[in-house]
């Protein structure tokens, strides 16, 4: 949610937010396949009798299925193509995801998915005064680069920059955000832009 918050804060507090670096977060409302998988996951949980309106005594199967869907969506296609080569590796991947998810709370997932239903920073992009450096990954299936969202919407941001970093079998799609070593160079570029701007202002 941090990237969404960054866009929102830059619009809500233009005089206080000087620089933002939204990572794997697009400045448009959630729609299309991104919205569809979210609704599928929400329904998987809410329609499971074991969920008990949130007062469950055991993790509902719908939650496990929703989390499997989530992981498939946020992992990178090139990475999965390399990592999952046969039925056994697919089963191993699913078992690892299930183990990782064992202690999670389905109510937390519901909250995070439903909290973003009214997210839509696009109408206020032209009002952003902050320096923006947006980063997406080409293998991010949450925010498919084929939609060209950054390429078109960043034109509305007066001081906006964006980079779409190429994905590979060594990256993790949307989950690349959880592997900062893979995009540390982009943070350095962002900091150089900030420092250059600060230096320019100090000479005036």
Query: Could you tell me which of 160, 200, 197, 177 has the C-alpha nearest to residue 75?
Result: 177
pTM of the predicted protein model: 0.87
45 and 105 belong to one structural domain: yes
Specify whether 106 is located in the same domain as 52. Answer: yes
Interatomic CA distance for residues 195 and 185, integer angstroms: 15
Provide the pLDDT for residue 66: 87
Q: Are residues 95 and 161 in the same domain?
A: no
Model pLDDT, residue 17? 96
Q: What is the pLDDT of residues 24-52, one digit of tens each?
A: 999 999 999 899 999 999 999 999 999 99
Q: Do residue 192 and residue 130 come from a single domain?
A: yes
Spatial contact of 131 and 159, defined as CB atoms under 8 Å apart: yes
Does 87 score more than 70 pLDDT?
Answer: yes
Structure tokens at 104: 């999670």
Same-domain check for residues 111 and 127: no
- pLDDT at residue number 203: 54
Residue 49: give its domain's CATH number: 1.10.1740.110
Range of the domain at 70: 35-115
Do residue 150 and residue 134 come from a single domain? yes
- Same-domain status, 128 and 155: yes
Q: What domain count does the chain have?
A: 2
Tell me the C-alpha distance between 164 and 187, whole Å: 13
Residue 157 burial (CB count, 10 A):
22
Q: What is the CATH number of the domain that holds 164?
A: 3.40.50.1820
Task: Give the count of alpha carbons within 13 A of 157, CB side only.
Answer: 29
**Domain match, 145 and 79 both:** no
- Supply φ then ψ for residue 20, to 5 degrees: -135, 150
Are 194 and 136 found together in one domain? yes
pLDDT in tens, 88-129: 999 999 999 999 888 889 999 899 999 999 999 999 999 999
Instruction: Name the token pair of 2.
Output: 């941090």
pLDDT of residue 200: 61
């Amino acid at each position: 949610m941090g990237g969404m918050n960054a866009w929102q804060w830059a619009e809500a507090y233009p005089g206080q937010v000087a620089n933002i670096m939204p990572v794997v977060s697009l400045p448009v409302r959630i729609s299309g396949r991104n919205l569809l998988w979210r609704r599928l996951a929400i329904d998987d949980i809410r329609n499971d009798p074991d969920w008990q309106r949130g007062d469950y005594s055991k993790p509902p199967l719908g939650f496990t299925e929703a989390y499997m869907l989530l992981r498939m969506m946020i992992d990178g296609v090139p990475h999965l193509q390399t990592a999952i080569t046969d039925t056994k590796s697919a089963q191993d991947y699913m078992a690892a995801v299930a183990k990782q998810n064992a202690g999670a709370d389905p109510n937390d997932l519901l909250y995070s998915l439903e909290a973003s239903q009214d997210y839509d920073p696009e109408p206020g992009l032209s009002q952003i005064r902050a320096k923006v450096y947006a980063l997406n990954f080409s293998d991010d299936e949450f925010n498919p680069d084929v939609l060209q969202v950054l390429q078109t919407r960043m034109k509305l941001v007066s001081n906006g920059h964006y980079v779409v970093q190429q994905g590979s079998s060594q990256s993790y799609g949307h989950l690349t955000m959880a592997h900062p070593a893979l995009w540390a160079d982009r943070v350095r570029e962002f900091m150089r832009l900030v420092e250059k701007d600060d230096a320019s202002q100090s000479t005036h």
